[in-house]
Amino acid sequence: MLPAARTDFLLAFSKTVPPSLIKRITSSDRPLALKNGAVGSGAGESGNSEGAGGGGGGNGRKGRSRGIREKESDRRDPENKDNGVEEQNGNGRGVSDAAAAGEGAAAAGSSVGGSGDGEGGSRSDDDLEKAIAQLSDPSATPTSLEKIHVPTEYPQLLAIPLNRRPLFPGFYKSLYIKDPQAIAAIENLMDRRQPYLGIFLTTDDNFEPDVITSLDQVHRVGVFAQITNTYKAGPDNSALTVVVYPHRRIRITDLVAPISGGTTPRIVVAEETPAVESKKDETQDVKVVSEPTDGEPKPEREPQNADLTTVPPPSTETTVTESVQEKADERYLPINASLADYIVSLANVENLKDEPYNGNNQLIKAYTSEMLSVLKEISNINPLLRDQIITFSMQTGGNAFADPPKLADFAAAVSAGDPNELQSVLESLVIEERLHKALVVLKKELKNAQLQQEIAKEVDKKITRKQQEFFLMEQLKGIKKELGMESDGKEKLVEKFKDRMTKLKIPEAVMKVVEEELTKLQHLEPAASEFNVTRNYLDWLTQIPWGIHSEENFDIKHATTVLDEDHYGLKDVKERILEFIAVGKLRGTVEGKIICLVGPPGVGKTSVGKSIARALGREFYRFSVGGLADVAEIKGHRRTYVGAMPGKVVQALKKVQTENPLIMIDEIDKLGRGNQGDPASALLELLDPEQNNSFLDHYMDVPIDLSKVLFVCTANTLDTIPGPLLDRMEIITLSGYVAEEKIAIAEKYLAPQAREAAGLEKREVSLDKDAIESLIRFYCRESGVRNLKKHIDKIYRKAAFKIVKAEVDAAEVGMITVTKDGLREYVGSPPFVSDRMYDTTPVGVVMGLAYTSMGGSALYIESVLESVISDDSKPGLNRTGQMGDVMKESSTIAYTYARALMTRRFPDNKFFDKAAIHLHVPEGATPKDGPSAGSTMTTSLLSLALNRPIIPNVAMTGEITLTGKILKIGGVKEKTIAAKRSGVTRIIFPAANRADWEELADYIKEGLEAHFVSWYDEILDIVLPEVAGKGEGAVGR
């Protein structure tokens, strides 16, 4: 029975081997191998004289001439006759890689011109049989890799794509193959001792597959390469590293590409090169017939023009399979028939030869000389390239530089140029053109080497013995700065972002965006502008503390201790904060609350916010929105803008690295409004518990949960805060401090801090309590304690100066005590010399009480006659004192009501009929506004009209209507503190403010007598008791 391997061989070569020889082959049981010069490893195509052999198949004429030459060579050198390399695979199928396959092809078929069988050479069947016998001898099987004679013609090759840079003849290259089918095909070639590939540069640098499916994927011109070594690589040895040596340039004529899902090839024809056609001579058809003697099929030459012997029909499945396989085999040359089992691409190729050139051409000499000069310059700069030049010269025996084509290939092979430029060098067959293109590439390499040398010299200046690591980093920075690249490699950036993501609990919607941006970053070049935008965006996305929380502390005792340590007084404020914490303890969270601390400057609003954060164990972040007019500061900029950044809230989350910090928004009452939008409206989404669980920053463009953030806002007044924004906040008012509180704060907090700041902890310096009281009374009358702190700091600095000066002068320094009488020496003259402007108020002067952003203050109203009243006098009212519109309206109402009251209660008094009155509010440089001065103005006008001063030590506040109704006012505590500071003993409030008065602490109300009125007549009865009962109409109100 014929072995299976022998049958496969016969099927592959039945079209080229004479039937008489096939019979002799089939009768032998020995392994079959083909020898160089016998039968070519590919079939010479019959009839059309276009032979295609794996070892260089030719037509009949070519085979004949080559056979004659080899025969003559054999006669001259008998020992070299059988010098071809015998290569045999493990299963007994052997093929030759020599260059004389055309002889066998010519012997097997007829050629053009009727040369027939005899024109292929004289060795014919006898030589072929002898070669087969020699190769079939087991003792002749090679045990090691012998020297391979590279065929000069090899029309069909396994095609391998290569990206980034092409190969050049004469220079080794290692390929990394990952495709299992391609690996199996290469191993098949190695087993059959046909280690040849066609390697072509891809048109896309990012092309990764190892199989070419379209001619558009590669450049037409590549190299014919020989595999010199292979070894396993990659994880689990799943890849193959192939070392190749390119021999010559080739061009693809057409491509035998695999079809997905099977091994049937798909023929892709190059547009510029017609496909090689194969014509079949009927006289060479071979069929397999059944012989009853042994049951084995044997090949038999069919007579010309004779009918084919009918073969018994196989089954349907076998017919279909063989039909598909026959179609596949039509495009595979016999030497590559075994590759039909793999999903790989084969390329039909033709050799490219350099155009003839004249070595004495001056242009070629000039190019060669310049190229040698450039190589010399580069070798002086780049030691690695110098070694390559020396090695190249040694390998070529020192004559390589006399070979311009080889020199051009060497220049391109060692240059790190653009792939298209290098491919252009490979495709150039005109030597002058190739030298020119190679010289351009080499010049660029020289420029890069010179730039590298300059960078290295610049960095070398910064080297010290202990800065080796620093030197390497600086050199890297310098190189990438010149190349326009980022400091961190792309892969390193991606790895950094992925490492951050593993530590976060990123929501699914955000994770999708992050993954998309990571994919985009991997496909962007570092020099692209979009690269930096994407990198910065990913940096922000991965630095927000998704899912990270700090543990909260709802311990009421701890919170009380913290608040008492940081603040004195503020009992009502502390109670509100403790209530807030207690609710959070019961609920388990304090989310959904926005607190607004309102009070004059210096009362401790910011420090209260810090204390709340410390009591709860939360991170603290503060930013001010005073004067903010750009909505992008709150909601971020669009990423399309240069220098775009997220809003302040996102920046806060990045800073504190927790999702539940305490964020303080300072000066919320001083928000601006400009062309860039309304920040107050932008804060509505931020401070709304129903909306901020999916806050959308313009830069981040992903929903961010801010519901766990505790927002604390501060303001000096509520008047300028928009209503919708105010409605979202819980108001906690911090009024000013009375003198007793200021003294305690100065002794307990301010003085020790100032002593430590001045470096006087171990020095004998003291500040008397009387001195502190004088500071508060004559220097620091404001509601807060900021100005008091400045004065105390100044006192201790002066004391420090005295001590140092005494030490310099070698004088003895004793105990330094700052007393009441010595304050002038430390802080200068007092700005206030008395408690109030008028110790006794004259006619027409009344003390009012005002509430401003600075706290409460005493405000005098003065009214005088402009001229003596006469019969020709005309009534009028003139107002000064920089009053606002509301206050001007109050003065008009007060003037009208005063005239009405005089008419009603003192009809005989005609003062307002002729009097020209001037009403003034002192301290005209200070703007004043508000409705609560109406009752004070009315009292001032009536005091002038009745020519009676009001009772001493009284102050009043309240808005008046045209009918004399006294309306409710705000700032009761602040006004009470201001009145007490001014030495007032009686205060007149609207009746509607009685509840506010009762909430005040006892030490604030101590020494004050409060009167609550609903109509103005009641005020008149209090402040002018001696005339109130004399008037008419005093009752009924």
Provide the annotated active-site residues: 932, 975
Does residue 51 contact residue 105 with C-beta atoms inside 8 Å? yes
CB-based burial of residue 168 (10 Å sphere; 0-12 exposed, 13-18 middle, 19+ buried)?
buried
Cα 772 from Cα 779, distance rounded (Å):
10
Strands 346-351 and 156-162 come out as antiparallel
In our burial notation (b when 16+ CB lie closer than 10 A, e otherwise), range 62-87 reads: bbbbbbeebbeebeeeeeeebebbbb
Residue 829: CB atoms within 10 A of its CB come to: 9
Q: Quote helix, strand, coil % in the chain, to nearest 5.
A: 45, 15, 40
**Whole-angstrom Cα distance, residue 544 to residue 510?**
11
Amino acid at 501: M
Query: How many other CB atoms are there within 10 angstroms of residue 852's CB atom?
Result: 20
- 844 contacts 920 by C-beta, under 8 angstroms: no
Residue 858 forms beta bridges with which residues? 849
Which among 73, 126, 61, 115 has a CA at the least distance from the CA of 98? 73
Please name which of 818, 724, 835, 736 lies closest in space to residue 778, comparing C-alpha atoms. 835
Phi, then psi, of 856 in degrees rounded to 5: -85, 150
Determine which helix (DSSP H) or strand (DSSP E) holds 89, and give its type and residue range.
none
Q: What is the DSSP letter of 762?
A: T
The residues that bridge with 346 in the sheet, in sequence order, are: 158, 256
Rounded Cα distance between 255 and 269, Å, is 6
Work out the number of other CB atoms within 10 angstroms of the CB of residue 723.
Answer: 7
CB distance 885 to 929 below 8 Å = yes
Residues 6+ apart with CB under 8 A from 234: 176, 178
**CB contact at 8 A, 605 and 731:** no
**Structure-token match 């951050």, residue found:** 500
In terms of Cα–Cα distance, which of 921, 924, 993 is closest to 959? Answer: 993
Query: Closest by alpha carbon to 877, among 903, 916, 913?
Result: 916
Measured distance between the N- and C-terminal CA atoms of the chain, rounded to whole angstroms: 139
Question: What sign does the CA torsion over 706, 707, 710, 715 have?
Answer: positive
Rounded CA Rg of the chain = 52
- DSSP assignment of 728-746 equals TSEEEE-----HHHHHHHI
Sequence-separated (6 or more) residues with CB below 8 Å from residue 95: 33, 34, 41, 54, 55, 87, 192, 193, 194, 335
3-class SS at 950?
Answer: coil
Torsion, Cα of 52, 54, 60, 63 (10° steps): 150
Gap between the Cα atoms of 879 and 891, Å rounded: 8
Tokens 């004949």 correspond to 64
Residues in the chain: 1037
CA–CA gap between residue 464 and residue 503 (Å, rounded): 39
Q: Which of 318, 356, 496, 503 is nearest to 432 (CA)?
A: 356
Which residues are CB-neighbours of 950 under 8 A, at least 6 positions away?
Answer: 841, 846, 939, 943, 1023, 1024
What is the CA 170 to chain-centroid distance, rounded?
45
